[in-house]
Amino acid sequence: MRIIIGILAVILLAGCKEKYTPKLNNATTAYLVVEGFINSSGGASTFVLTRTTRLTDPGKIVYERGAMVKITSELGKVYPLTETSPGTYTSAALTLDKNDRYRLSIQAGGKEYLSDYSKMRNTPAIDSVSWQLENNGLQLYVNTHDPKDSTRYYQWKHEQTWEFHSSYTTSLKYSYDNQNNITGVTYRLPSRSADMSVYRCWQSEKLQSISIGSSEKLSKDVIHAPLIQIPKNSWKVSVLYSVLVKQYALSREAYKFFEEMKRNTEQLGSIFDAQPSANTGNLRCVTKPDEVVIGFVEVSEEKEKRLFISAAQLPADWAYVQPCEAIQVKPNNIDTIRSMAGYLPTDPVDYAPSGAIVTLGFGTPSCIDCTLRGTNVKPSFWP
Amino acid sequence: MKQISKVLLFACCLLISFNALKGQETGKLPLISGNYILLPAEQFLLDLQKQTGYRFYFDTTHLDSLRVNGSFRDQPLNAVLDQVFEGTGIGHAISIGSKRVFISKGLQVKTSLPDDFFGVQGQAPKDVAATEQTLTDYVDGNQKTPAATLENKLYVIGDKLAAGSGGNVTIAGYLHDIKTGEPVIGASIYIDKPRINAITDQFGYYSLIVPKGRHTLNIQSLNMKDTRRQVMIYQDGKLNIDLYSQVTALKHVVVSSEKTNAVRNMQMGVQKIDIKAIKQVPVVFGEADVLRVVLTLPGVKSVGEASTGLNVRGGSADQNLILFNDATIFNPAHFFGMFSAFNPEVVKDVQLYKSGIPAKYGGRLSSVLEINSREGNKKNFTGSAGIGLLTSRVNIEGPIVKDKTSFIFGGRTTYANWLLNLLPEEYKHSKASFYDLNLNITHEINKKNSLYLTTYMSRDRFNLNNDTSYNYSNRNVSLKWKHTFNNKWFMILAGGYDFYEYGIGSTRNKINAYKMGFDLSQSYFKAHVNYFANAKQTIEFGVNAVRYELHPGSFKPDGAQSLVAPVIMPSEQALESAVYLSDKYAFSPEFSVEAGLRYSVYTFLGPQSVNNYLPGVPKTESTLTGTTLYDKGKGIKTYHGGEVRLSARYAFNNVMSIKAGYNSQRQYVHMLSNTAAMAPTDIWKLSDPNIRPQYGDQFSVGLYRNFKSNTIETSVEVYYKRIKDYLDYKSGAQLVLNPHIETDVMNTEGKAYGVELMIKKTAGKFNGWFSYTWSRTLLQMNDPAVGTPINNGKWYPANYDKPHDLTFVGNYRISHRFSISLNTSYSTGRPITLPIARFYYAGSERTLYSDRNMYRIPDYFRTDFSMNIEGNHKVHQLTHNSWTIGVYNLTGRKNPYSVYYVSENGVVNGYKLSIFGNAIPYVNFNIRF
């Protein structure tokens, strides 16, 4: 019986999902994709224009370059955007009129594209970004409310940044000859002390999914939405963790657009999937009305809030442990050192009376040089 | 070579003292010596006859293929016979005085007359012919007709002297189960020469017109042992026959469409399977599953392994009327659709009408699936229980008032949580449980009036990873009264209440904690009258009325901190009534026609506020012009129309016929779903001023031919079906708690056509069926006034359009206690919507979708195997045990359920999802008491 149960479990679950690429014969579509919003916070508005690619061409972003992009208003105002990097178009800092309505106008590939007009929309401030321990992890929430109960639909973007440290300090490095062959080890710093520039680093991560929330079914416009989940013992919370959350008010239509996009592209794979379907947004091609344009452009305000969580705020058993290998070798000669290629030297262990190193330590590179996993440039907002 | 006739044996028995061998007399028996190696029993007995000088009387048919093995040295005759016939059921009686030995089987060799023998008889038989001695009871049938239970006894009907020679006479009577007293329905009773056949009606009554003289009546029926009776018929008379039910599950046929019925009866597109066949088909986890077996029939498909939603001849899952006795079951699935909601211990048989739907049924477009439960045992308390890996079940039945009132109770529950606890962390906190309960009571008021009470309840609960919890429940009760006016007229009145609800809730986020609910109920009344005008004509008519009440959704806060604003959608109610009349008429034995007409009227009732839209443009929120309020009980909108049910049969001969049929259907309730599989969260919707009822019609032709004494049935059926106003969803539809749901759905047209081939072997050691279907199901939405045409208004395949579908179901009985079953199926992969392009948005690569159902998942292939092992077959033991051991998906093929693309960590990945990715062994233990 036990065996059967064991087998059952493995079968039922492991066998369920596997990577698969069906043979498809997609035609090239190259539909215009517009991402961005008209910023009413007083800053610049940025749009990224790309083209859809064939399903069989993964990992390729085709930027739409050389397009004429401008924000126009119902009352006749025109604000041109300039291409600041390939496919990225940025406006000057704009002050928009509450009583006017705005839209995006694009001329690209010999065709003209327009979004629907959109009026200014106020975004309530983020009350707080809170966190709590649940389900063996750290759950972050965004909390907000609109006293006028009128916003109802929200989108969030966020960027996480965290400080992390190498598992071992290092004062040694390999020395090389002209042919880039290892000749031995040498001190990193004249002071022979540990090189802290490879000990303290930062890494960051931008949101890769659509994060939206709504209070449409609540009696008050109050949001307590789960935002980020960090598993226990993650390196993100090994020293100090920070997240910057940006909040945008959406129209109901934009919310539906993002909800559908999320359903089509992130929420598939269950038994009772809703079937994916066409979803395009509020842009249209004026020149060729049945051409698909993807994107939803409206005016919105950006509100942001930053949160820090230090490892000291978390339970002791949350300490991050990096899987590392540490080895002590001697004698300190070229053969020994070369046999350790693939590791990095850490510190001397003991010395000859001459002061030369006799025994020294080696370790897994990623445990020694933090720049292999991040940057050692401290972010400007870091305390 | 019959040594002596049974009858003479019987007569001689009268002269023997049965106590002949008791006591010291055994010492006087002759002694036997000899070596016998696989000697046929008959020769063995003849050898004994030589050795002993005793005369042996026996019937060679009893000895059958029995062979004798043994070595004897000076052993008394009775000991030798005991040893030789041990365990064969063959007994012997030795008369030392007359030096005779009687070998018999089944018959108890009585050596003295019953006390009342001559008393009943009134006089000693004047004719010396022993054949007629005991049987004048049967003369004219005015007396209470005793039941004929013996196969080898000759029953004489009528008076030889009073009867002239030549001409035909009628013999009629009832067939009963000797153990439970239940009537045996649908049994075939026939004589071979000439071939004359009758089928018992719902009371177990039969009537045969046969030439005078001696006949062998053959009786075949589901669940009953095939048997025969020897009759000598001189005059019209009655003969009641008691049948033995099948003691072992292994001994009989898998498929039960009554033999020759496929050729002879009027219906086409009808399949019937009894529970024994259902139990033999291997299924996942070994849980005998009514709906899974229905899925192996030609013309029946589903979107995948996790769905028990049936798609019959291109119909959607909500177009099937699933009747458990008379109760409509709205959600026939348990446990995410893995199991069907019917306890196999209570089910008697299942009948599926794919076309040729009788006029008495209406309200659904595609099919009627009748699931009939057993009646409780009227004589004894019995029961059974089964233990499987995921479920256990029990049933108890017995008399409340002996021979009058009986009950049957069935219950089933699951303990699947252990399975879910073995899942990876992300699913580990999932829970799932279900149960279902049945209680049926049958009461026979008198011979002409019977009452049937059916109650059913099922409940499912599951939550996936502690977050959202789901539950749903069916509850049904129905009461049926059957009244027989006389042998020509009977009437059935039935009333009942069907209820289905589901709920969803989540309390994880205190502020958003909610409870959502949906329910649908119907109260109904049916009156049905059956009139057997004569042998050629049967007329049926009746009325139906159903009152629907539907609560489309409530959304309420759960907990004090919840800010959820309660939303309660106004209830919907409607009344559907219908009258029908159908006439079955046989113009000749070859040609018969059944014509039925049903007229249904549906009224959507207040109170209700109905949305108004601008005419001639798609219904959207922007074309919503306002609402109209209607008072309670006010008829808001009425739809009505006729439905035609026509079928005709021409039989070329006894084994071959052609049938054709046309039927049209109307459906006033719709299930709305935007998932491929039938999900527990699908909602139902009543037709209203904005949503029209569905209409469908079907034309079909079939050719039927039986071979090898009707043990092999073959059929070819072709159909063409049209569907109007089938509700499909729009892109991004919101179906739950939507106060203007008509803006998110649209009317589509459908067409389905196909050919179904079936070969069925119904008897013998090997039985089973093979079916192949080629079919297409296409939908079209081409009305810009309804919304943006799907796929530019072109025909597109429905989710369950699987052109090729091949099934083999076979059972091989190796011995009475051991049989093996194999089940193989292949089908084309179902259509799916795959992306047409990639793009980059919101930090990730994503996919773009366009036309629906333009691709297919890989083809489906699966083989299942099971072994059924029965315990010993002694009838009189406390319990009977059996084991079922099997493997589902023997080849371990990872059959895709869906293929999809999903954005993960910024990139798009394609996946293939299989429900069962490997071979799944199972074991089930059953016990009957």
Question: Looking at CA atoms only, how far is residue B564 from chain A in angstroms?
Answer: 4
B339-353: b or e for each residue (b if 16 or more CB lie within 10 Å)?
Answer: bbbbbbbbbbbbbbb
Residue B282: is the preceding peptide bond cis (ω within 30°)?
A: no
Q: Looking at residue B251, what is its pLDDT?
A: 36
Mean pLDDT of chain A: 88
Query: Token pair 């004798």 is at which residue?
Result: B68
Burial, B505: exposed, middle or buried (Cβ in 10 Å; 0-12, 13-18, 19+)?
Answer: middle
Q: What is the pLDDT of residues B743-765, one digit of tens each?
A: 888 889 999 999 999 998 877 88
Q: How many helices (H) and strands (E) does chain B have?
A: 10, 58
Q: pLDDT tens digit string along B47-70?
A: 888 888 888 888 777 776 677 777
Query: Could you read off the pLDDT of A236-278 as tens digits, one per residue?
Result: 999 999 999 999 999 999 999 999 999 888 888 777 777 787 8
At B254 the pLDDT is 39
- CA separation for the pair A121, A112 (Å, rounded): 26
Query: Which string of DSSP letters, residue by residue, matches B103-162?
Result: EEESS----S--TTHHHHHSS--SS--GGGTT-GGGSTT-S--PEE--SSSEEEES-TTT
Q: Given this model, what pLDDT does residue B27 score?
A: 56
The answer to whether the Cβ–Cβ distance between B916 and A219 falls below 8 Å is no
Residues B21, B25, B29, B31, CA torsion sign? positive
pLDDT band (50, 70, 90) for residue B84: confident
What is the mean predicted confidence (pLDDT) over B487-502?
92
- CB-nearest to B679 from A259, A272, A295 is A272
| A327 and A186 in a common domain | yes
Of B871 and B526, which is predicted with more confidence?
B526
Percentages of chain A per state (helix, strand, coil), in multiples of 5: 15, 45, 45
Residue A193 lies in a domain: yes
Residue-wise pLDDT for B798-815, tens only, equals: 988 999 999 999 989 888
**C-alpha to C-alpha distance for A149 and A146, rounded to whole angstroms:** 5
Arithmetic mean of pLDDT, B900-922: 84
Residue B24, burial from CB neighbour count under 10 angstroms (0-12, 13-18, 19+): exposed
State how far the Cα of B400 lies from the Cα of B409, in Å rounded to an integer. Answer: 12
Contact call for B841 and A215, based on CB within 8 A? no
Angle at B881 between CA B875 and CA B883, to 5 degrees: 140
The mean pLDDT value for B690-714 works out to: 90
Q: pLDDT-based confidence at B234, cuts 50/70/90?
A: confident
**Residues 190 to 229 of A: which have CB under 8 A from any B CB?**
206-210, 215, 217-220, 222-226
Distance from C-alpha of B773 to C-alpha of B438, rounded to nearest angstrom: 35
The residue assigned the tokens 């079953």 is B821
Residues 6+ apart with CB under 8 A from A218: B511, B512, B563, B564, B565
CB-CB contact of B762 with B257 (8 Å): yes
Does some domain include residue A7? no
pLDDT at B910 over 50: yes
Q: Per-residue pLDDT for B42 more than 90?
A: no
CATH number of B6-105, picked from 3.40.50.150, 3.20.20.70, 1.10.3720.10, 3.55.50.30: 3.55.50.30
Specify the number of domains making up chain A.
Answer: 2
B117-243 CATH:
2.60.40.1120
Q: Is the pLDDT of residue A181 over 90?
A: no
Same domain (yes/no): A47, A179 = no
pLDDT at B141 over 50: no
Distance from C-alpha of A365 to C-alpha of A345, rounded to nearest angstrom: 9
pLDDT at B261 over 70: no
Residue A119's alpha-carbon distances to A77, A105, A115, A221, A283, in angstroms, are 14, 15, 12, 20, 15
Domain with CATH 3.55.50.30 in chain B: 6-105
- Whether residue A306 is predicted with pLDDT greater than 90 in this model: the reply is yes
Same domain, A195 and A325: yes
CB nearest to A261's CB, from B336, B846, B852: B846
In CATH, the number for domain B261-928 is 2.40.170.20
Whole-angstrom Cα distance, residue B471 to residue B158?
Answer: 65
Residues 6+ apart with CB under 8 A from B877: none
Q: Indicate whether A222 belongs to any domain.
A: no
**Mind listing the pLDDT tens digit for each residue in A313-361?**
999 888 888 888 888 888 888 888 888 888 999 988 888 888 888 888 9
Contact A153/A216 with Cβ under 8 angstroms?
A: yes
What does the pLDDT read at residue A185?
Answer: 87
Which pLDDT belongs to residue B320?
Answer: 92
Provide the pLDDT confidence category of residue B492 given band limits of 50, 70 and 90.
Answer: very high
Residue B832 near residue B848 (C-beta atoms within 8 A): no
A278 with A338, same domain: the answer is: no
Question: pLDDT tier at B556 (50, 70, 90 boundaries)?
Answer: very high
| A165 shares contact with chain B (CB less than 8 Å) | no
Model confidence at A383: pLDDT above 70: yes
pLDDT in tens, B7-29: 333 333 333 333 334 334 555 77
Q: What is the arithmetic mean of pLDDT over B250-275?
A: 61
**CA distance linking residue B696 with residue B366, whole number of Å:** 8
Inside any domain, residue A138: no
Among A8, A215, A219, select the one facing B920 at the smallest CB separation.
A8
List, as ranges, residues 268-307 from A with C-beta within 8 Å of B.
268-269, 271-279, 292, 294-295
Do A289 and A338 fall within a single domain?
Answer: no
For the cut 80, the answer to whether the pLDDT of residue B674 exceeds it is no
Are A108 and A62 members of one domain?
yes
CA angle B758, B764, B765 (to 5 degrees): 105
Given a cut of 50, whether residue B249 has pLDDT beyond it is: no
Contact B382, B335 (CB under 8 A): no
CB B306 within 8 A of CB B677: yes
Name the residue among B336, B836, B909 with its Cβ closest to that of A29.
B836
Out of A266-270, B317-321, B592-596, least confident range: A266-270
Instruction: Look at residue B246 in the predicted model and tell me its pLDDT.
Output: 65
Both tokens assigned to B736:
């739950």
Any CB–CB contact under 8 A between A52 and chain B?
yes
Is 50 exceeded by the pLDDT of residue A279? yes
What residue numbers bound the domain in which A343 lies?
A: 167-199+320-372
Tens of pLDDT, residues B607-653: 999 999 988 888 888 888 989 999 998 999 999 999 999 999 998 98
Are A208 and B674 within 8 A, CB to CB? no
Determine, for residues A58 and B852 on separate chains, whether the beta-carbon distance falls below 8 Å: no
pLDDT in tens, B449-467: 999 999 999 999 887 666 7
Describe chain B by its helix, strand, coil percentages, rounded to 5.
10, 55, 35
Helix (H) or strand (E) holding B897: strand B896-904
pLDDT tier for residue B448 given thresholds of 50, 70 and 90: confident
Each residue's pLDDT tens digit, B121-139: 333 333 333 333 333 333 3
Q: What residues in B contact A294, CB-CB < 8 Å?
A: 839, 841, 848
**Would the CB atoms of A11 and B917 count as touching at under 8 Å?**
yes
The reply to whether residue A16 touches residue B563, judged by beta carbons under 8 angstroms, is no
Residue of A nearest to B673 (CA): A274
* % of chain B beyond a pLDDT of 70: 86
Q: Around Cβ A307, how many Cβ atoms within 10 Å?
A: 20
- Give CA–CA dist B221/B186, Å, rounded: 7
Q: What is the mean pLDDT of chain B?
A: 82
Question: Which residue spans of chain B are classified as CATH 2.60.40.1120?
Answer: 117-243
Cβ atoms of A295 and A33 within 8 Å: the answer is yes
| Predicted confidence band of residue A286 (pLDDT cuts 50, 70, 90) | very high
In a domain, A160, yes or no: no
Report ipTM for this prediction.
0.89
Instruction: Check residue B772 and give its pLDDT.
Output: 94
pLDDT value of residue B895: 86
Residues A180 and A267 in one domain: no
Which of the four pLDDT bands, split at 50, 70 and 90, describes residue B874? low
Is residue A2 within 8 angstroms of chain B, CB to CB?
no
- In A232-320, where do the E strands start and end? 240-249, 283-285, 293-294, 299-300, 302-310
Q: Give the rounded distance of the alpha carbon of B303 from its chain centre.
A: 22
Q: Over range A205-218, report the average pLDDT.
A: 92
- Tell me which chain A residues have a C-beta less than 8 angstroms from the C-beta of B423: 9, 12-13
Position A369 pLDDT exceeds 60: yes
Residues A90 and A171 in one domain: no
Residues 6 or more apart in contact with residue B307 via CB below 8 angstroms: B317, B333, B337, B676, B677, B678
The reply to whether A310 falls in a domain is no
> CA-to-CA distance for B152 and A270, rounded, in angstroms?
63
CA dihedral over B646, B650, B655, B656, signed as positive or negative: negative
Alpha helices per DSSP H over chain A: 2-14, 252-265, 334-339
Q: How far apart are CA B625 and CA B613, in angstroms?
A: 5
pLDDT of res. A202: 96
Share of chain B above pLDDT 90, in %: 31
Interchain CB distance below 8 Å, B563 and A210 = no
- Tell me, what's the pLDDT at A248? 95
Of B424 and B631, which is predicted with more confidence?
B631
**Is residue A137 assigned to a domain?**
no
pLDDT for residue A1: 27
The DSSP element (H or E) to which B63 belongs, if any, is helix B60-63
Instruction: Give the start-end residues of each E strand in B221-291.
Output: 227-233, 237-238, 240-243, 270-274
Q: Is B675 helix (H, G, I), strand (E, B) or coil?
A: strand
A149 Cβ neighbours under 8 A, 6+ residues apart: A220, A221
Q: Compute how many other C-beta atoms are within 10 angstroms of the C-beta atom of residue B446.
A: 8
State the Cα–Cα distance between residues B502 and B492, nearest whole angstrom: 32
pLDDT category of residue B606 using cuts at 50, 70 and 90 = confident
The candidate with the shortest Cα–Cα distance to B690, out of B762, B746, B770, is B746
